[in-house]
Amino acid sequence: MRLVRDAPPFVPLVWWDWDTFSPYASRPTIDRWELLPDGSSLVVAAAGSLDDLPSVASNLPAATAKPQFDLAIRRYNQACARSSPEDQLIDCWIALEALFLPEKDELSYRASIRIARFVGQDPPERENLRKAIRDSYDLRSALVHGATPNFKKSSFENLSGAVDSTRDVLRRSLLRLLDTKSWNSAWVAEIDASLFGT
């Protein structure tokens, strides 16, 4: 459900607000009760549509039969459940690498152009995505090699911004793969071909 609606799973709640001037209930309120990773709960206002849930749910079993897609889904869920932004970013990148980087060289360059081409709707969005993906990958590299992330040359002000952006790109990638049933083909080769018009 996190794929369709970028929020934790929830239990819907309906209750009546009491009018302060009357002993009777005035209107129903529909909110959600979120289950947090630490087992506690939080009630927040509901938002978002679940219209795509049946389509995603029907395509998910066939997609997760592919090892790289299964890994990506698991790491996306783990990233959503972790409290550490460093671990969230690393999980997102494990998932993105499983989907878009079967090779082991020029990873930052290949990831940024492939993901931007696959997820972006038009050239300006693709260019913005390419830069954000490159910067996110650089932050990820700093983290996994024990260095302190440098935000001076980054398009992100902090690690939380990088995590939110990267998780959103991963979510959009997974949804697009599920929607187009691209897991049945060599989607990386198709993205590369589309980059060069072949």
Strand 41-45: give its sheet, edge to edge. Answer: 10-18, 25-35, 41-45
Distance CA 124, CA 98 (A): 26
- Same-domain check for residues 72 and 25: no
Same domain membership, residue 153 and residue 79: yes
Q: Give the CA diameter of the chain.
A: 71
One domain for residues 101 and 140: yes
Same domain? For 32 and 128 the reply is: no
- Is 2 among the domain residues? no
What are the tokens at 80? 């959503």
In a domain? residue 28: yes
Is 85 within a domain? yes
115 versus 55: which is more confidently predicted?
115
CA quadruple 190, 193, 195, 198: dihedral sign:
negative
Could you give the CA distance from residue 168 to residue 165 in angstroms, rounded to a whole number?
Answer: 5
Q: Got the DSSP string for the chain?
A: -TTTSSS--EEEEEEEEEPTTSSSEEEEEEEEEEE-TTS-EEEEE-----TTHHHHHHHHHHHTTSHHHHHHHHHHHHHHH-S-HHHHHHHHHHHHHHHH--SSSSHHHHHHHHHHHHH-SSHHHHHHHHHHHHHHHHHHHHHHTTPPP--TTSS-SSHHHHHHHHHHHHHHHHHHHHHHTGGGS-HHHHHHHHHTT-
| The predicted structure's pLDDT at residue 50 | 56
Q: Are residues 153 and 73 in the same domain?
A: yes
Which of residues 12 and 136 earns the better pLDDT score? 136
Domain range holding 33?
10-45
Average pLDDT of 146-165?
A: 92
Say yes or no: 36 and 124 in one domain.
no
Is residue 160 in a domain? yes
Both 23 and 116 in a single domain?
Answer: no
pLDDT at 87 over 50: yes
Cα–Cα nearest to 193, from 114, 135, 127, 97: 114
Share of the chain above pLDDT 90, in %: 39
pLDDT of residue 46: 35
**C-alpha span between 126 and 144 (Å, rounded):** 26
Residue 80 pLDDT more than 50?
Answer: yes
Number of structural domains the chain divides into: 2
Same domain, 91 and 145: yes
In terms of average pLDDT, the best of 5-14, 24-33, 158-167 is 158-167
The answer to whether residue 112 sits within a structural domain is yes
Percent of the chain with pLDDT over 70: 71
Average pLDDT over residues 139-146: 93
pLDDT confidence tier of residue 11, bands split at 50, 70 and 90:
very low
For residues 14 and 97, state if they share a domain.
no
Amino acid in the structure at residue 136: S
- Classify residue 185: in a domain, yes or no: yes
Q: Tell me: do 35 and 126 sit in the same domain.
A: no
Tell whether 3 is covered by a domain. no
Euclidean distance between CA atoms 53 and 175, whole angstroms:
10
The answer, yes or no, to whether residue 157 has pLDDT greater than 70, is: yes
- What is the bridge-based pairing of β-strands 10-18 and 25-35? antiparallel
Looking at per-residue pLDDT, the higher value among 135 and 66 belongs to: 135
The pTM assigned to this predicted structure is 0.73
